[in-house]
Amino acid sequence: MASRRQPFTPCKLYIDGAEGLSAGDYIVTSGGSAYLVQATRPSPSKPERMYLDCLRWVPDQIPADARCFKLNWYRR
């Protein structure tokens, strides 16, 4: 299943409390992963949560003028 984590492959994420996040923004995680946000939609049950359609990205290829959001992963 390693191929699912290759750069430029689609994935779905959700994030809580990311006001202002929109399509075209990038997310960079504390572990060094990066994602390009392609679409956002609000959760019908949790107003603070957004569902994201993303592409896995190479952190070194994020444009210098891009809006980036830092994300820290937490265990469930």
Q: Which residue is listed with tokens 């891009």?
A: 66
Query: What pTM did the predictor assign?
Result: 0.85
12-62 pLDDT tens trace: 999 988 889 999 999 999 888 999 999 999 999 999 999 999 999 999 999
d(CA 59, CA 20): 21
Q: How many CB atoms lie within 10 A of CB 13?
A: 14
The torsion angle over the Cα atoms of residues 22, 25, 28 and 34, rounded to 10 degrees, is 110
| Pairing outcome for strands 68-71 and 49-57 | unpaired
